[in-house]
């Protein structure tokens, strides 16, 4: 067993977990944050994407112990039911989902994209989302949602692409 201490969606978390516990397991099973989905468990689909210290990571490939000391944001941390975040609201406005299984991971990857790049041409957006698979093939509306969220961010005075990782 190993003790992990981190912040999740702004709140401090401390747990004793098996050394082999994955970050996605900690989030879902220990913390009840079931918005983070497991679609493959082999780093293919992106449904488990969260932000760790500002970077988008596939939480099925990160040990909980590796995230210890870090700051995690999940889809639940992007907004509240009564005050959706820009990316969440954009998915509603653009109908960016069908079954919704890929949606939390897509939202986190898009949030990261807007943080770190935010170019609004389709090819650029498609390349940024290539690690996230939508089995319903709803990519056209997802790309519309990216642009919608970007415009909402800029309207709120938050510039795009300002957060860089080494
Ligand atoms: Fe992590 Fe598919 S569940 S990439
Ligand atoms: Fe169904 Fe993407 S909306 S997998």
Span 113-166, pLDDT tens digits: 999 988 899 999 999 999 999 999 889 999 999 999 999 999 999 888 887 654
For the entire predicted model, the pTM comes to 0.95
> Which tokens go with 35?
């918005």
Residue 41 has pLDDT above 90, yes or no: no
Q: What's the pLDDT score for residue 151?
A: 95
Closest approach atom of ligand 1 to CA 38: 3
Q: What's the pLDDT score for residue 33?
A: 98
- What is the DSSP pairing of strand 55-58 with strand 49-52? antiparallel
Nearest to 106 by CA among 151, 137, 68, 61: 137
Give CA–CA dist 61/38, Å, rounded. Answer: 11
> Which tokens go with 108?
């986190």
Cβ–Cβ < 8 Å for 72, 52 = yes
- Top pLDDT among 41 and 69 is at 69
With a 6 Å cutoff on the Cβ, whether 51 touches ligand 1 is: no
Q: For a pocket test of ligand 2, which of 101, 109, 142 has the largest count of ligand atoms closer than 8 A to its C-beta?
A: 101
Interval 61-74: pLDDT, tens: 999 999 999 999 99
Cβ–Cβ < 8 Å for 16, 3 = yes
Q: Which helix (H) or strand (E) holds 13?
A: strand 11-17
């Amino acid at each position: 067993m190993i003790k992990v201490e981190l912040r999740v969606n702004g709140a401090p978390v401390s747990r004793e977990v098996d050394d082999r516990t994955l970050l996605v397991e900690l989030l879902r099973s220990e913390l009840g944050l079931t918005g983070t989905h497991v679609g493959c468990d082999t780093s293919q689909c992106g449904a488990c994407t969260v932000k760790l210290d500002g970077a988008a990571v596939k939480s099925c490939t990160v040990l909980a112990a590796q995230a210890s000391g870090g700051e995690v944001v999940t889809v639940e941390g992007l907004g509240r039911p009564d005050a959706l975040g820009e990316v969440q609201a954009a998915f509603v406005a653009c109908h960016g989902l069908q079954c919704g299984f890929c949606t939390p991971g897509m939202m986190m990857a898009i949030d990261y994209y807007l943080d770190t790049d935010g170019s609004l041409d389709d090819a650029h957006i498609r390349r940024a989302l290539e690690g996230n698979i939508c089995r319903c093939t709803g990519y056209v509306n997802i790309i519309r949602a990216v642009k919608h969220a970007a415009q909402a961010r800029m309207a709120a005075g938050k510039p795009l692409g300002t957060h860089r990782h080494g």
